[in-house]
Amino acid sequence: MSGLLVVTAVPAEAEAIQSGLADPTVAVLPVGVGPAVAGAATARLLALAEMAGRPYRAVVSAGVAGGFADRVAVGDTVLGTRAVAADLGAESPDGFIPIDELGMPAELLGGGTALDADPTLLAGLRTALPTATVGPVLTVSTVTGTTASTEELVRRHPEAVAEAMEGYGVAVAASQAGVPFVELRAISNPIGPRDRDAWRMRDALTALTAAASALR
């Protein structure tokens, strides 16, 4: 059996994790931006490892994220209790309808629109990262950039602590392969009106490097 598979969206995130990790049993690979490409690439990596007789024992979706301002600060680390497909559904005059409320069977949704992190993996990371904020992490295909959309997300997901673009796709791939999953994020910006100049990417990448030791 192989070790841990850590997937990120972009090379800078993978490099930040590798900088804080000296463990040859942990593979750290950038797989692309967004839930579709991240899910497809992760599924391929898991399948290739299984066919080679060296299946991965767990998958971590890691990288930077936006954080809900009243729940987590920029530069903080987040551990996802579940990955939520926050924008998978339909609009209606009464508001957004999640796809699992439209009559879709759970088996056609990769197990549902919210996939829980593996409790053992999550517990281990919580012990290793005691100051990390813990809660659901939303997966979106369009990054939130207005006050109105932020307030709508808060209304629909009152416990969520962050949003990113890959977690749910990676979680589906892991679930389909029967491999434990967890999500690790570092906060680069508050969720809200888009202000690219206010993003603190360096602080978030530094936080990822510091958190990487917990993956050994």
* Pairing of β 4-8 and β 58-67: parallel
Query: For position 111, what pLDDT does the model report?
Result: 63
User: What percent of the chain is predicted at pLDDT more than 70?
Assistant: 95
Closest to 70 (Cα-Cα) out of 152, 133, 122, 129: 133
Query: Mean pLDDT throughout 54-64?
Result: 96
- Domains, the chain, with CATH or none: 4-215 (3.40.50.1580)
Instruction: Give per-residue pLDDT as tens, 62-86.
Output: 999 999 988 999 999 999 999 999 9
- Cα–Cα distance between 164 and 171 in angstroms, integer? 13
Instruction: Give per-residue pLDDT as tens, 109-163.
Output: 566 788 999 999 999 999 999 999 999 999 999 888 889 889 988 988 999 999 9
Closest to 112 (Cα-Cα) out of 58, 156, 155, 172: 172
Neighbours of 45 (CB within 10 A): 19
Evaluated on CA atoms 215, 34, 155, 109, the torsion sign reads negative
Query: Mean pLDDT throughout 56-60?
Result: 96
Query: Mean pLDDT throughout 189-215?
Result: 89
Query: For position 1, what pLDDT does the model report?
Result: 45
pLDDT at residue 40 tops 80: yes
| 44 pLDDT tier (thresholds 50, 70, 90) | very high
- Cα–Cα distance between 173 and 64 in angstroms, integer? 20
| 88 pLDDT tier (thresholds 50, 70, 90) | confident
Query: Is the separation of the CB atoms in 28 and 158 below 8 Å?
Result: no
pLDDT at residue 198 tops 90: no
